[in-house]
Amino acid sequence: MARLPYKIINETQCFLAELVPGIKAEPDESNPCHFHVVIAGPQDSPFEGGTFKPELFLPEDYPVAAPEVCFMSKIYHSNVDKLVRICLGILKDNWSPALQIHTVLLSIQALLSAPNSDDPLANDVAEQWKTNEAQAIEIARAWTKLHVINNI
Active site residues: 87
The number of residues in the chain equals 152
Please count the other Cβ atoms lying within 10 Å of the Cβ belonging to residue 58: 24
Identify the helix (H) or strand (E) that includes residue 9.
helix 6-17
DSSP secondary structure letters along 67-114: PEEE-SS----TTB-TT-BB--GGGTTT--TT--HHHHHHHHHHHHHS
- Which neighbouring-strand residues pair with 70? 55, 85
Half-sphere exposure at residue 125, Cβ-oriented, CA atoms within 13 angstroms = 21
CA–CA dist 88, 145 (Å, integer):
24
Contact between residue 103 and residue 89 where contact means Cβ atoms under 8 Å apart: no
